Amino acid sequence: MQRTCRPGTPLRSVPGCMVTRTLLPRTVTPQHFQRIQPIHAVAEGPGEDSNTDYAAVAASLNALLSKSAKSGITGKDLRDLVVQKWGRSYDVRLCKLQGRMYLQVMWKFLEQRSFPLTEVEYMQQLDAVAEYLNDWNVADTVRQGILQARKPPGYTGGGNARCISIPLSVDLGGGRSAEWQ
């Protein structure tokens, strides 16, 4: 006896996901059902008491997730932080100077006509910078550095430009260090 998935059955859409190819109907045989094992969130066995406080377990897991999410940063978070501080979407770059890594908030900004990137390219760059910051665990340092900066990036009176440099305590001997040599 074979069972076939009905063609034309609508796929469930998941926010943020895109189906890139259509799924073909699959034939399911009774042998497939014999291999399926039930999944349990909590192991069942000797010594298990049935008085587990699932609300407390869920709360502790949510607390762990919120801590890890808070310590990380996304490109959108980085842009929001810069716009909140200075009112413009300044360019953000990573720079290695004299063996140290810096996050630099540059003087050019997205709303400027001469800005060399489109908004999509700008967000891709911020996402890439945020990925490095998360890999190096320095997102909180960047947040504090931007919020504590006194002057905005921009042009000085003599025709020079000023950026905001935030030193990052990064060990460049790690996994992706070859990218910065």
DSSP letters along 123-139, please?
HHHHHHHHHHHHHTT-H
The domain made up of 75-174 has a fold known as HIT family, subunit A (3.30.428)
Provide the pLDDT for residue 13: 45
Per-residue confidence in pLDDT tens, the chain, 181 aa = 444 445 554 444 444 544 444 444 555 555 555 555 555 555 555 545 566 778 887 777 766 666 555 578 999 999 999 999 999 999 999 999 888 999 999 999 999 999 999 999 999 999 999 999 999 999 999 999 999 999 999 888 888 999 999 999 987 776 655 565 5
Provide the pLDDT for residue 25: 52
Provide the pLDDT for residue 23: 45
Provide the pLDDT for residue 9: 46
Provide the pLDDT for residue 159: 83
Provide the pLDDT for residue 57: 78
pLDDT tens, position by position, 26-71: 555 555 555 555 555 555 555 455 667 788 877 777 666 665 555 7
Provide the pLDDT for residue 158: 84
User: For the chain, what are the domain ranges?
Assistant: 75-174
Are the CB atoms for 105 and 163 separated by under 8 Å? Answer: yes
Three-state secondary structure call for residue 165 = strand
Measure Cα distances from 34 to 29, 30, 38, 43, 150 in Å: 9, 7, 11, 21, 66
Rounded to whole angstroms, the Cα distance separating 9 from 19 reads 14
Rounded to whole angstroms, the Cα distance separating 7 from 14 reads 20
Indicate if the alpha-carbon torsion angle 150, 155, 159, 160 is positive or negative: positive
